[in-house]
Structure 1
Amino acid sequence: MKELILKLKFDKPNNVGFFRRFISYMIDWYIGGILTSLPIILTYTAMNNGNIGIIEQNINIFEYPLNIIIGLASFMVAALYYVYVPMFINNGQTLGKKIMKLRIVNNDYTQASKKQLFIRQFVIILLLEGSLYTSSNMLHQVINEVTGANIVSIYNTIGIVITVFSALLVIMFKSRRALHDIIINTRVVTENSPELSVA
């Protein structure tokens, strides 16, 4: 841990402030939440002759096995947004990052690889840190339904602790690198960063 703190302390400073990243996060959180809801809303509406009303983001409004299918579909739609968009469409940017003129790059300011983006966005953010994302909530509900065990509260607690720790790293160190950036050797920079060498 001491080694990590020393590494972060002497890491190259970053011109991206916490609030800019936070606004980007909130935009992505909102868009991801809407996309996650689509399979639930469309299925529920189709099954109820177009009568919507207020629909819970809970897969248990459907019978088994449809609830599992809808939960996985919801997670996958959101995963496409969080993973596919920065990997194949916007070169290291979700829509939130694009709006805020931010980009995910290697720590040396070169273009992040597709492998890095996949591990960062899917494995670390959605699966490990994802407790605050609606899409991860869908996955948690599927896990609960399939296993019958309430392991989600433990999973959520661990995810929240990791997320808070990650946010603290962004706030405390001038490199503004979150835990997922440190693990996969990336950073979030402004599009006009002078060090940036991404095509």
Structure 2
Amino acid sequence: MWNKLRNEPVNKTGYIKRIIAYGIDWYLGSVLSSLPLILLYMSLHKDAVYIPQQLSIFKGYYQVLAGVLSLSVAFVYYVVLPIIWKGQTLGKKLLGLKIVNDDYQEVNVKQLIIRQVIMIFLVEGSIYTCSNMFHQLVNVLTGYNIASTWNKVGLVITILSGILVIILKSKKSLHDIVSHTLVVDIKSEDYKNMLLSIEKKNKKQNKKMKKRFA
């Protein structure tokens, strides 16, 4: 598998663009994920001035409600939005980047869920607000405090994922490898050439199908 990854085609997408897009999505995702908690707390406490990002500030079922709402908003931003925008979060859209599958065709819903939810939120997500909310929600529902251990493991995996982006020619992170995806620059000549190649291939296949059933 490692040899296969090392020999994949070169991806010329710039590191700076990816870092900026990542930063935008991290910031916006964090703000949006925090909004349900803030709004719910303010509706219950009109005189609130400072609101910690902790589910423990709520009592009873409000803890669960705040956690579920926060995760729901995060799911919309990180999964539903890329489904609607065909592989683009707001950060990627602003920087002209896009998530595609290994053969440069449109990413599907299953791949986005594996990439964004399972890998980024649950496995790597030590720096994401929504991941922190998930850890807190697990604690509320089960009584087990998994945050400390999970964050440490997640941080190590996140660093490993970043190293892979640097050393692999395809610039794939761990979540890209697992979900069979790739981040590309939609303005690059390489991406445009790949689209033309796919279009030609599809036309040939359509002609063969027409001849077969003619």
TM > 0.5:
yes
Q: 1:151 is matched with which residue?
A: 146
Establish whether residue 106 from structure 1 lines up as the match of residue 101 from structure 2. yes
Q: Does 1:168 align with 2:166?
A: no
**Out of 178, 181, 192, which is 1:183 matched to?**
178
Asked whether the 8 Å contact 2:25–2:90 carries over to 1, the reply is yes
Q: Distance in 2 between matches of 1:195 and 1:140?
A: 43
How many pairs were matched up? 194
Deviation at 1:52, TM superposition (A): 3.8
The Cα shift of 1:127 comes to 1.6
Runs (5+) with no aligned partner, structure 1: none
2:18 counterpart residue number? 21
CA distance in 2, matches of 1:166, 1:116: 17
Percent of counterpart pairs with the same letter?
Answer: 45
Partner of 2:208: none
The one-letter amino acid paired with 1:26 is G
Q: Which has the larger radius of gyration?
A: 2
Aligned residue for 2:19, secondary structure, equals helix
Contact 1:109 1:195 in 2 (8 A): no
Distance 1:121 1:196 in 2: 25
Higher helix share: 2
Verify: 1:116 aligned to 2:111, yes or no: yes
Deviations along 1:22-77, one digit per CA (max 9) or x if unpaired, are: 1111100111011111111111111122x342211111111122112101211111
1:76 aligns with 2:72: yes
Higher relative contact order (CA 8 A, sep 6+): 1
Preserved contact between residue 127 and residue 136 of structure 1 (Cα < 8 Å) = yes
Report the secondary structure of 1:130's partner residue.
Answer: coil
Which residue of 1 is the match for residue 192 of structure 2?
A: 194
Amino acid at match of 1:45: M
Report the residue type matching 1:122 in the other structure: V
Aligned pair partner of 1:8 in 5, 9, 26? 5
Provide TM-score, normalisation by structure 1.
Answer: 0.92
TM-score relative to the length of structure 2: 0.85
Where do 5+ consecutive residues of structure 2 fail to align? 200-214
For 2:106 and 2:19, the matched residues in 1 are separated by: 22
Counterpart of 2:192, as a letter, is P
1:20 partner amino acid: K
Structure 1: distance between partners of 2:79 and 2:132: 17
Tell me the SS of whatever aligns to 1:105.
strand
Taking a change above 3 Å as real, the CA distance of residues 196 and 86 of structure 1, as seen in their structure-2 partners, is farther
1:34 equivalent among 31, 35, 44: 31
2:135–2:145 Cα contact (<8 Å) kept: no
| In 2, Cα distance between equivalents of 1:174 and 1:16 | 10
* Structure 2 residue matching 1:131: 3-state secondary structure: coil
User: How far does residue 196 in structure 1 lie from its aligned partner after superposition?
Assistant: 4.3
Is residue 79–residue 113 contact of structure 2 (8 Å, CA) maintained in 1? yes
